[in-house]
Amino acid sequence: MRCNACWREVEGRAISTTCGHLLCTDDANKILSNDGACPICDQVLSKSLMKPVDVNPNDEWVNMAMAGVSPQILMKSAYRSVMFYMGQKELEIQFKMNKIVAQCRQKCETMQEKFTEKLEQVHTAYQKMAKKCQMMQQEIESITKDNQELQEKFAEKSRQKRKLDEMYDQLRNEYDSVKRFAIQPANNFYARNEHDLFSNPPNIMDDREMGRKGNPSLSTVRAQRILLFYCH
């Protein structure tokens, strides 16, 4: 049996009340010195409504307490005592249940607090990641734009290079043709002189005079000038 106020195990002397509850002597005295209210049902108690009982009676009490009482009264008393005992057991179970429920509720509250804390941490981390992703997305867009611009520039430069290559090839061809043109008249110049030497004697002196003075023909000078221009 347990005290209905402090729920400690009661041994020996205890106090039973008319409202059907059991108290240890310490709690019974406290209740009487305070407001006198039963801790379970709030019924106002007084000394006359509280009866001392021995929860572990000795053999002498067991043998003699009910001696001389009629079986009807004995059975009625036994019935009341059993009902009281059952009521106490129900109260104990209820107390234990309430204790377990309170512990579970406390654990749930602690877990909920931890869960909320973790959830907030996860939410904060998620927000950070989302912001980072957004920044990275913007960075990717910027890089893609730069890449596109560079590709366009590269295509433009490639076009310019092709154009320059074509111009270079054209100039090269012109240079080669000019070079060939510049060399050919010089050979012809001496060949023509050799020919003139025999075919037209009066002109020999004039041509030789020109050769000695170092005056080449007009076409040779022009070809040399064009050659120098392209070389520079």
Task: Output 43 or 188, the one with its CB closest to Zn ion.
Answer: 43
Task: Output 30 or 192, the one with its CB closest to Zn ion.
Answer: 30
Task: Output 43 or 224, the one with its CB closest to Zn ion.
Answer: 43
Rounded to a whole number of angstroms, the distance between the first and last alpha carbons of the chain is 124
The verdict on 2 binding Zn ion (CB under 5 A) reads no
Binders of Zn ion among residues 10 to 49 (CB under 5 A) are 19, 21, 24, 27, 38, 40-41, 43
CB of 125 to Zn ion, least distance (A): 52
CB of 2 to Zn ion, least distance (A): 8
Residue count, binding to Zn ion (CB under 5 A):
11
Q: Which residues contact 181 (CB under 8 A, 6 or more apart)?
A: 223
- Output the CA–CA distances (angstroms, integers) from residue 119 to 98, 109, 125, 129, 130, in the order listed: 30, 15, 10, 15, 16
Q: Given CA atoms 117, 122, 127, 128 in this order, what sign does their dihedral have?
A: positive
Distance separating alpha carbons of residues 187 and 102, to the nearest angstrom: 123
Task: Output 1 or 182, the one with its CB closest to Zn ion.
Answer: 1
Q: Enumerate binding residues for Zn ion (CB under 5 A).
A: 3, 5-6, 19, 21, 24, 27, 38, 40-41, 43
